[in-house]
Amino acid sequence: MNRIPHASALLDWMQAQESMALDLLERLALCESPSSDPGSQPAVRSVLAEALEPLGLRVRALPGRSSGGMLYASPKDRRRRAPAQLMLGHYDTVWPSGTLETMPYEHTDGVVRGPGVFDMKGGLVMMVLALGGLAALGVQPAVAPLIFANSDEEIGSRDSRRFIEALARRVIRVFVLEPSLGEAGRLKTSRKGIARFTISVAGQAAHAGLEPGKGASAILELSHVIQRLFELNDPDRGVTVNVGTIDGGLRPNVVAPESRAVVDVRVAGAEDARRIEAAIRGITASTPGTDVRVEGGFGRPPMEPTERNQRLWKRALELGAGLDLDLEQAAVGGGSDGNTTSLYTATLDGLGPVGGGAHAPDEHLLLDPTLRRAALLALLLADPPDPGADS
C-alpha cells in the first residue's frame, strides 16, 4: 500500500527496535573489515545480507577485481522500469584486523564505541531499520529502494565506481549513509573533489665531489616544482594543494638522478578542478638535464550544491521537522561516493549516524539521535518522486 507514514509512528517503531539495532551493529563491528584485506569482507557482507533478505529484498554479492566485492539488493517484487532510489554505503573500514583488542566494541549509556561503528556500519544498520519500519507500518514506497554497499570506499572506490556510476544513471535520487557532521548531525550537501598526483623527476647521476657539473639534480628540480605547486593554493576558493610526501636520490655524495612527490589536491568546484589539473599537468622542467612526468588525476569529482541536490536537502528539512529534527547542511573537505552520484542524480550525503571520531581512536555513535535519523531516512524513502527530479 502506497501511503505516507506518520513521523511519530515511525519514530516510536525505531525506538522500540533499540535492542535489535544494537545487536546488528555489534555483529557488523565484530566482523573486522579493513579495506586493505579483501578476504575480510565476505563475513561482514553476509551479516548485512542476512538482515536485508527478510525485508523482501533479493541480495546479490558482486565479486571485485581488486577489492573484497560489493553487495547489491533490490525488492523481489520490483516492477521493471519503475522509478528507483538508491541507499549507498560501504562496509570497509580504515581499521586493521586486530583493532578490537585495543579498541573494543562497547555500549554504555546510549553511546556505542568501536572500530567502524560511526564510519559507517551504523549507516548500514539505519538502512535495515528504515526498510523495516516502512514494512511494519504497511508502507510500500512508490520509488523502489535499492541498496549498494562496497568494500573499497575508504581507498577511493576504484573497483566499485563503475557500478556506482551505472546505478546513479538509473535512479532518481541517492541517499548516502555516510556519517553526519558533528554531534549536531549536519547533512553534507557539498564535498570537495579530490585528486592525487605523483610527480616524478628524472635527472643525471654524477659524483657530487669530483664531477658535479656532469650531473643534473632531480631533487633540485623537484624543489622548484614544489614551489609552483604550493603557489596553486587558493583558500578563498577552497583550493588546497598539498605535497604530502617526497623521496629521491641515492646517496649524499651522488647528484640525485631521480626524485618524486605525491600531491593531494582538493577543490570545491568543477571549474577549479579543470584549472588546477591543467596547471599541474602543464608543469615542465626548468633545470637543464632533468625531465618531469605527472601521473594521476581526480578520483572523486566535487559534489556541488546543485539545484536538484538542494531540493532534496530542503525536503529532508521539511520531513525532519516532523521528527523534531533541527537539521543543518554543511560543506566538507572529505570525499565519498556521493561525489560520484551527484554528477548524475539528486544526492543527499551525511544521512548516516550521529556521533564522532571517524578514523580516530574515540570513534563513537550516539544511539538515540541515530535512531531518529533512521526515521528520517524512512520518511525520505516513502516520499513520492520529485516532479523536478530530472532537472
CATH of domain 193-300: 3.30.70.360
Which parts of the chain fold into alpha helices (H)?
A: 7-16, 18-30, 41-52, 122-136, 161-170, 218-230, 270-281, 307-321, 338-341, 367-382
Where do the structural domains in the chain lie, given as residue ranges?
7-191+302-382, 193-300
Q: Is the per-residue pLDDT at 38 higher than 70?
A: yes
pLDDT 10s digits, 272-293: 999 999 999 999 999 999 999 9
Q: What is the pLDDT of residue 125?
A: 98
Cell of 22: 544494537
pLDDT 10s digits, 365-381: 999 999 999 999 999 99
Q: What are the phi and psi torsion angles at 184 (to 5°)?
A: -80, -10
Cell of 376: 528520517
Percent of the chain topping pLDDT 90: 95
Confidence of residue 386 (pLDDT cuts 50, 70, 90): confident
pLDDT 10s digits, 94-147: 999 999 999 999 999 999 999 999 999 999 999 999 999 999 999 999 999 999
CATH of domain 7-191+302-382: 3.40.630.10
